[in-house]
């Protein structure tokens, strides 16, 4: 919640007055702003074309004026490097120096997946009134998406999607209940680096302190009993233990974060057919799981 909003964002009328939009133009923009975009294609660096929805000069001018009002409301978090002043692909790469592994993902149709409902919900969540949020959407959203080509789309996209949580612990001692308020936030998706090799080894130790640490990481499920029931010398012991631990942690994410969709993909130790760690992805939307699985399949090809 923003403690103090600019006066121009106090009401829809104040916003349009600030932008110099009269009653007739306001009526048109609120209902038919989509007619003030034209489609264009530009080539991508790695082949193919990128589809743009380019606003006409008058609408682009209004969007740029609106951008000046919205920019002070957003403080980019450290992991955000796209469309942020003094940050770039280079600063993003520098942040990952020294890491033994790097997972690089390209989100398909990123702007097109951000709907009017998500933009309005985000604006209201930071304290902007419903009528003002509707006015912003009228100026900045078309065809129920953020148009790639509008000057306001990058900022609004960052504001909407800043609740992507990546948990990358250096070990396995994580009291996950303490992350509950973060995981339960609306419009939040989570990627968790589950250090399987360490966790599997720790789960074989009977030391009470270690067991307590594992219970803090996986407070749900009967994983201890299930692991104890696996024959120690069975040929599939490793796979069975992995299945038990993956199931327990998936249940933990579902329960604590209220995520109906949780997926996992194993990351193997280099040159060995053995899981080093697992990446868990938790979301509340089935499309997220579909995209995650498609990325997984493409990676395994």
Q: Do 279 and 299 touch, CB atoms closer than 8 A?
A: no
Please determine, for residue 147, whether its predicted confidence score (pLDDT) is greater than 90: yes
Tokens of residue 98, six digits: 């020294």
| pTM of the full structure | 0.57
How far apart CA 10 and CA 5 sit, in angstroms, is 7
Per-residue pLDDT tens digits for 225-245: 999 998 877 667 888 999 999
Q: Is 59 exposed, middle or buried (0-12, 13-18, 19+ CB in 10 A)?
A: buried
Q: Do 197 and 277 touch, CB atoms closer than 8 A?
A: yes
How far apart CA 105 and CA 280 sit, in angstroms, is 15
Tokens of residue 16, six digits: 């349009």
Least confident of 66-80, 219-233, 256-270: 66-80
Q: Is the dihedral of CA 117, 119, 124, 126 positive or negative?
A: positive
Phi, psi at 290, each rounded to 5°: -60, -45
How far apart CA 162 and CA 156 sit, in angstroms, is 10
Residues 6 or more apart whose CB falls under 8 angstroms from that of 117 comprise none
Per-residue pLDDT tens digits for 83-132: 777 888 788 888 778 877 777 777 778 889 899 988 998 888 778 999 99
Angle, alpha carbons 18-23-29 (nearest 5°): 85
């Amino acid at each position: 919640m923003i403690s103090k909003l600019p006066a121009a964002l106090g009401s829809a009328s104040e916003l349009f007055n600030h932008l110099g939009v009269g009653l007739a133009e306001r009526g048109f923009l609120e209902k038919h702003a989509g007619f003030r975009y034209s489609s264009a294609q530009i080539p991508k660096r790695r082949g193919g074309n990128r589809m743009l929805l380019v606003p006409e000069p008058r609408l682009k001018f209004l969007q740029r004026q609106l951008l000046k009002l919205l920019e002070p409301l957003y403080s980019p978090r450290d992991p955000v490097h796209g469309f942020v002043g003094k940050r770039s692909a280079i600063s993003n790469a520098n942040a990952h120096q020294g890491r033994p592994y790097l997972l690089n993902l390209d989100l398909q149709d990123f702007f097109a997946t951000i709907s009017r409902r998500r933009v309005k919900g985000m604006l209201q969540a930071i304290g902007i009134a419903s009528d003002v949020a509707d006015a912003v959407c009228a100026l900045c959203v078309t065809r129920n998406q953020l148009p790639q080509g509008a000057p306001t789309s990058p900022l609004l996209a960052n504001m909407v999607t800043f609740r992507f949580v990546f948990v990358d612990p250096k070990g396995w001692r994580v009291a996950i209940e303490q992350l509950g308020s973060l995981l339960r936030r609306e419009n939040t998706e989570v990627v968790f680096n589950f250090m399987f090799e360490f966790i599997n080894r720790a789960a074989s130790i009977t030391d009470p302190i270690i067991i307590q640490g594992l219970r803090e990481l996986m407070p749900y499920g009967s994983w201890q009993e299930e692991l104890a029931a696996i024959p120690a010398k069975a040929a599939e012991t490793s796979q069975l233990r992995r299945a038990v631990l993956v199931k327990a942690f998936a249940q933990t994410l579902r329960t604590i974060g209220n995520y109906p969709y949780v997926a996992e993909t194993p990351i193997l130790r280099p040159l060995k057919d053995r899981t080093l760690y697992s990446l868990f992805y938790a979301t509340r939307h089935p499309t997220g799981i579909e995209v995650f699985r498609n990325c997984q399949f493409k990676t395994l090809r």
